[in-house]
Amino acid sequence: MQDLRKQREAITHIEGNLYQNQDARIGIVVGRFNAFVVESLVDGAIDALLRHGVSGENISVIRVPGAFELPLTAQRAAESDRFDAVVALGAVIRGSTPHFDVVANSSASGLASVSMDYNIPVINGILTTDTIEQAIERSGTKAGNKGAEAAMVALEMIAVLSQLDVDYDELDAD
């Protein structure tokens, strides 16, 4: 009979830890539209990165007019080879955006394409909400800070992907 416990022990598990980030190079691309919300996302992202050991000199913040411009900016950032991950921050608020769906959908799908095309994590930290109140709640008040969350996802993805680059035998030795 198969020893299921032995088989379970033989499984390789890969997860990212968040504590070896001194050398991580992070590009934060920011859509300025709704700046009163977005700047809190930027603060949250920078705070999370610095608290997890990322060096300030390895962080770049690139500001553009709005969320619609983020995919192209993320693409140039990825293409430059200067970053291990790109974090895109913005706020698209339905209440004040007649073309909400266009801006929200094109920015999200554009960022996903850049990630696949350039083979690095491109993290979608764009808030898409119905109201300004919801956006405020998600930018550092009662529902957390999506900028900080996006920064942490970037670090976790760098850590996970770097393990996929190494020989599996090296992982087993740990």
Active site residues: 99
Closest CA to 154 of 123, 112, 117, 109: 123
Least Cβ distance, residue 42 to ligand INI (angstroms)? 13
Tokens found for residue 40: 């809190």
Window of 13-21, 50-58, 96-104, 163-171 that interacts with ligand INI by CB under 6 A: 96-104
Residue type, 84: D
Give residues 17-46 in contact with ligand INI (rule: CB under 6 A).
31, 33-34
Binding-site member from 97, 124, 129, 145 for ligand INI (CB under 6 A):
97
R_g of the chain computed on alpha carbons: 18
Minimum CB distance to ligand INI smaller for 41 or for 49: 41
Window of 6-14, 50-58, 60-68, 139-147 that interacts with ligand INI by CB under 6 A: 60-68
Q: How far apart, in whole angstroms, are the C-alpha atoms of residue 145 and residue 137?
A: 8
Minimum CB distance to ligand INI smaller for 88 or for 157: 88
Binding-site member from 21, 68, 83, 159 for ligand INI (CB under 6 A):
68
Minimum CB distance to ligand INI smaller for 49 or for 67: 67
Binding site for ligand INI (CB under 6 A): 31, 33-34, 65-69, 90-93, 96-97, 103
